[in-house]
Amino acid sequence: MATEDDNLIRRIRTGDQNALAELMERYRGQLLATASRKMSDLLKRSVEPDDVVQEAVTYCLKTFTEIDCKALDPMPWVHQVLERKIVDAHRHHAAQKRAADKGVPLSGATDSSPGLIDLLIASITSASQAFARNRREERLMIAMQQLTQEQQDALRMRYVENLPSKEIADKLGKSDGAIRVMLTRSLRQLEELLDDGHME
């Protein structure tokens, strides 16, 4: 008899993105445990394991349509993505530390563009588009306006106020799982809007 996981995997292999989101949510605790175990104590002082998991989940949903999913074993793939995100987080943190030791502003710590979360925080905390530091940040501010007020509130509470998803759920009158799904989908929606050519 097919289990619920089997049914989700079958749907995933037909290209069902919602099934992938549901499966990752079912195993979020396992993903969080992996991130917490593999992230150094030093890194965890500045980056929450849940944020790294969120980045991995968002990336998987964003790239899912670009891969051959017919024979995909989804959770091993998700874990591989998570491990890459953990490595990236360690590298970024090390680069920031080296820059700080040399007296270089953190904004110049790496040559790469700021990550989505960094841009998101900047777009929420900036008073207006006039304060956007670059074109991509300005585009994100515009994209934020296309989200519902509830989505904007949830993103602000999670990434600016650093509230855990359970507390956000209490404030918005939703379940913890519903908030996690909302955050994942909101980040994915923002990335899609940023990648949309008409926002250039």
Whether 53 and 44 have beta carbons less than 8 Å apart is answered as no
Same domain, 123 and 101: no
Q: What is the pLDDT of residue 87?
A: 86
Same domain, 81 and 19: yes
Is residue 183 in some structural domain?
A: yes
Q: What is the pLDDT of residue 98?
A: 63
CATH number at residue 26: 1.10.1740.10
> What would the mean pLDDT of 108-120 be, rounded to a whole number?
49
Side-chain-side CA neighbours of residue 8 (13 Å): 17
CA dihedral in degrees (20, 33, 29, 122; nearest 10)?
Answer: -70
pLDDT at 76 over 90: yes
Same domain, 48 and 120: no
CATH number at residue 139: 1.10.10.10
Tokens of 14: 């037909």
Is residue 137 in some structural domain?
A: yes
Same domain, 60 and 27: yes
Domain boundary among 55, 79, 105: 105
Same domain, 57 and 134: no
Same domain, 21 and 88: yes
Same domain, 20 and 100: yes
How many structural domains compose the chain?
2
Same domain, 92 and 184: no
Is residue 111 in some structural domain?
A: no
Domain boundary among 54, 77, 105: 105
Same domain, 97 and 28: yes
Q: What are the backbone angles phi and psi of residue 106, rounded to the nearest 5°? A: -60, -30
Is residue 110 in some structural domain?
A: no
Which of 80, 82, 79, 67 has its CA nearest to residue 13?
Answer: 67
pLDDT at 77 over 90: yes
What is the per-residue DSSP string for 21-45? HHHHHHTHHHHHHHHHHHS-HHHHT
Same domain, 91 and 14: yes
Q: What count of other Cβ atoms lies within 10 Å of the Cβ of residue 151?
A: 18
Domain range for 154: 116-199
pLDDT, tens only, 82-113: 998 988 888 877 776 666 555 444 333 333 33
Same domain, 129 and 188: yes
pLDDT at 150 over 50: yes
Same domain, 69 and 150: no
CA distance 58 to 169: 20
Domain boundary among 56, 72, 105: 105
